Structures are given as structure tokens and as C-alpha cells.
A and B are shown apart, each in its own frame.
Chain A
């Protein structure tokens, strides 16, 4: 292997770490029970995916131990955040405020490779890239996010998504949905289709419904929004229902048992079919079922559900050794698919990986998830949870966490809205700033 950059065929990076590795090996190899370091090369850790989980993991690893050879593989040169993209859709925020670059992460010493990962050979410990280059790893972190399942809802494929946007990956889809709302005539009907769990960010469809209703109420008051749901219960439900009652007579939620389950889409008529009815939309937002992004399947870390089961503490795959899975792609017990949890779990995983490559044993951990939703720009609420490993799973600590009080005064909602914006500023600074 030698002390080269993991980018085979490229000139290796400056030799400072090689030199340190060599010095340590020369003087102390026989005394050190540290297999990877004793070989004279820094341990190579490759992270696939530069979102909340992957970017956090890469940066944390480098900060924990600057000698680690950390490579971040991410095809997009700019990350566009899903949290707060519902505000963009509702015309409350510019998409530019959602965009973050990898310069600061690279400045911390992470090698950022702006390419798609096209395959993983878990036995050879190699990641294949779009340009046929290969990256060798000692430990791989897979944090690729989600793929939308274009085979799940009849009539909803990639072409249909250009007419009936999902906007469940932030970027062009977000802007498309916003433009459609802007060009809709007053008096129009917006129809949303919401899938069953699991999917990225469980409360986000309901926040989106609120903020679209806010846009309609303030800009197109004769219009309405209908939410077709494959569920009867959902995250922060009592808080959302209270907000709908207080703020949005223009919003109708059709639950599973009321016949709301979206069963098909007809892009040619801009319609969504449910169990009982066909809803013709002026603007349709179809959030289809999801699965871990394709690279997880190619790496062999996704199971038949399409998601990736992992061990607690290390977030190591239960299916392929030396591969850790983070973020929305993972099934980690009770851990929700939220940006906050992705970031918190990535820090824990980074510590575990840094320990594992030193031959040390990761210690038990614990973490917090806090997830804010906005029902209006000055109306926020949250769900929180504290998680710890129990019986081989991440489970919620009983007696802790839960949702904001349902009967809180407006000041409380205003205060939580401010906390929501503050959370976004803080977490983005930690990851990308």
C-alpha cells in the first residue's frame, strides 16, 4: 500500500504525514499494537456523500486526528440544504441561502473529490469513481442520502417529476415547485402526496403544507391546498393540527383512513389518484416513497427494505464489514431521518472510526436529536429525543424528549421559530463554515 494518497494514479499529496508515519514506524513499530499506523501509512478513510452526515463525518475525522487520510467523494460541488427549503418553496427565502461549498472542509485537510461514486468493492476495500479512478480505504463511510423510488407510485417517474415536482432533494426541484406556485392563478388548488414511513424527514411534508398554505393565504387567498396522506398518524401531529386550525382554513388533510392514500399519478392531467378519488391539481407536489441512494445497494449495505441496517455506536453496516452508513440511508434503531440526527450520529461515527483504525474499542455513546418545524415564519415547534444503545439498537431514553407543549402561547411559538433559524445557522457553520 505505501504512504500514497488513496487516489491511485495521482501524484500523492505532500509528504508531511508520510514522513510522520515513517518516523513513527521506524522508531516504534514493534512496540505499537496499532496495525494501520504501524504499517507506516496513515489510515485511509473514504466518505461517500457530502450532506449533513458525510460532510460532518469527514470534517470531524480530520479534526480528531489530522494524520488520518480523509477523502470526501461528492459529485455536487455545492450542497443545497433540504432543511429550510420549504421556506424557499413558499417564497420566504432565497435558494442561495441553502447553498454551501466544500472549501472550508478542504481547508481542514479533507481531500474533496468532486465525482460520483459508481461502485464499492467491500472485499477489496475499493471505491470506484465515475472517471474509473479507484480509491482504496481502510474504513468507508457511506452517507449518500436517498433515492426517490420512481417505481413505487404508478405514473410517477422521472419525467413526471418534471411536471409534478417532488422537491424532496433540494435544488432545481425546489425552485420548480416555487415557480409553479408563483405562476398559479388565485383560486387554484395545490395537491400534495405524502408517503408512508420511512422517508427523509418525517415532519417535513406537514411543514411544507403549512408554508404553502401560508403563501396561499397571504398571496393567493382564494386558493387551497389538499394533502393526500398514506398515514393516519405522523410526527408532531397535534402541533400541526393545532396550527392548521389556528392559521389555515385553506388546508385540508386527507388521511389514509379517509381515503387519502395516494395510489397513482397521471402527469398528463396533473392528477393524483387516491383510494377513493382523483384530485386534479393546478400545482401538484408528489413526495414518492424512498430508499437509500443507489451506491448503498451497490456496496451491498442495503437490505431488502432498501435501507441500510447498522450497529449502534459505530454505525458499521450489519451486512458488510469496514463500511459505516450514516444519515437518511441508514436504519439505526429509533434514530429519525433528520439533519440534526445525521450530524450528531456522524460525530459519534467519526470518533468510533478514528478509534477503530488505531486498534482501540469505541465507547458507548449517547446523543440528542432536535427537529424544528415552522408552521409560519414566526410559528415554530419542535420534537426532541435522547438516544442511547440498548440491546443492540439505538433507542430513545424514556422520560426524555417529546414535542413542544400543544397549548403554548404565541410567544413560545415565536421563540421556537427563532431557535429554528438559529439551529440552521449553527449546524451549517459547524459543517461547512
Chain B
């Protein structure tokens, strides 16, 4: 899964996300090995303290957003839609795809204008708004 850095598609547009952008998410989350090394050092301690302080002073959310806060329904797509190009499957990847193309495909599956094996049955369970949110979220991932 490659969504560890992804924010919600709509959150990305709406949020004044300067603080989140200024502080790389993995570093603050302690996920990145280099950042981990930095944080273990005394100098890293100062850095972490400074980051926390800056965020608090700015009145911003101290904890990073949950990495994979996906719109409703999005997480279950990856049961079939592969996370990497190395997986042997006829199913296309959604990650990084043009959201407009995903929306168009889903709407065509739903209306029956595009033939499908299973996606016609699945698309009927989603509204236009839900489809747009899911498409934006996958489109925003790399």
C-alpha cells in the first residue's frame, strides 16, 4: 500500500495545510529511518521540540492526520486493485490515476454503458459524491 503519505483528497484542497506541508509527515510520525536517527540524537530532540512548539504556537493540530484517512468505501478497492505494478492481475491500478477517468468509468459501469464483469454490480452501490471522493483520493496518491 502506498498511501502512507496521502491525505484525503478533499482535505488537501480545503485545509490550510501549511503546517502539515512544512513538517514532513513521516518525519514527525517517526516512520522515516533518517528522521528516527535524528530524533534519537540530542540535536534531534531540539528539532522535535521545536516542531511541536511551532505547531502549538500556530494553533495547529499537533498530531499529523492519520495517514490513510480515506473517504468511505475507498479502502476496500485495494482488495482487487493492486498497490503496485508488480502484481500479476488483469485489474488496473487506481493509484495516481486521473480522478476524472475514475469517475467516468464508475458512472459508465453504474449506468451499464460500459460492460464489466463485476464493477457494474459494485458501482451501483456508490453515489456520485462518493465516487468523486474516492477518485480524488486515489488520484492524489503516488
- The reply to whether B80 and A370 form a contact with Cβ atoms under 8 Å apart is yes
Whether a CB of chain A sits under 8 angstroms from the CB of B19 is no
| Smallest beta-carbon distance B120→chain A, Å | 9
- The reply to whether A400 and B121 form a contact with Cβ atoms under 8 Å apart is yes
- Interface size of B by CB at 8 A reads 51
- The reply to whether A404 and B117 form a contact with Cβ atoms under 8 Å apart is yes
Bound CA span A60–B78, Å: 12
Bound CA span A423–B68, Å: 21
- The reply to whether A17 and B122 form a contact with Cβ atoms under 8 Å apart is no
* Nearest residue, chain B, Cβ from A380: B117
Q: Inside 8 A of B4's CB, which chain A residues have their CB?
A: 63
Whether a CB of chain B sits under 8 angstroms from the CB of A8 is no
Bound CA span A32–B61, Å: 9
Q: Inside 8 A of B130's CB, which chain A residues have their CB?
A: 366
Contact with B along A13-29 (1 / 0, CB 8 A): 01111011001101110
Of B9-17, B46-54, B97-105, the stretch lying at the interface with chain A is: B46-54
Whether a CB of chain A sits under 8 angstroms from the CB of B75 is yes
Question: Which residue of B48, B63, B64, B84 contacts A34 across the interface (Cβ within 8 Å)?
Answer: B63
Given contacts A16-B30, A27-B56, A368-B76, contact A422 B124 (CB under 8 A): no
Contact with A along B94-128 (1 / 0, CB 8 A): 00000000000000000000000110011111100
* Nearest residue, chain A, Cβ from B44: A19
Interface residues on A, range: 35 or more
Given contacts A16-B30, A67-B30, contact A354 B91 (CB under 8 A): no
- The reply to whether A401 and B125 form a contact with Cβ atoms under 8 Å apart is yes
Contact with B along A351-395 (1 / 0, CB 8 A): 100110010000111111110000000000010111010000000
Bound CA span A199–B141, Å: 37
| Smallest beta-carbon distance A184→chain B, Å | 33
Given contacts A20-B30, A66-B31, A382-B117, contact A347 B87 (CB under 8 A): no
Question: Which residue of A31, A354, A384, A402 contacts B56 across the interface (Cβ within 8 Å)?
Answer: A31
Of A152-160, A239-247, A410-418, the stretch lying at the interface with chain B is: A410-418
10 shortest A-B CB distances, which residue pairs?
A386-B125, A422-B89, A400-B125, A66-B31, A344-B76, A367-B76, A400-B124, A366-B73, A347-B75, A366-B72
Interface residues of B (CB under 8 A from A): 1, 3-4, 26, 29-31, 36, 39-40, 45, 48-49, 52-53, 56, 62-64, 66-70, 72-73, 75-84, 86-91, 117-118, 121-126, 130
Sample of 18 A–B contacts (CB below 8 Å): A14-B40, A19-B39, A19-B48, A27-B56, A28-B62, A63-B1, A66-B31, A67-B30, A351-B70, A368-B77, A399-B124, A400-B122, A419-B90, A422-B82, A422-B87, A423-B80, A426-B80, A426-B82
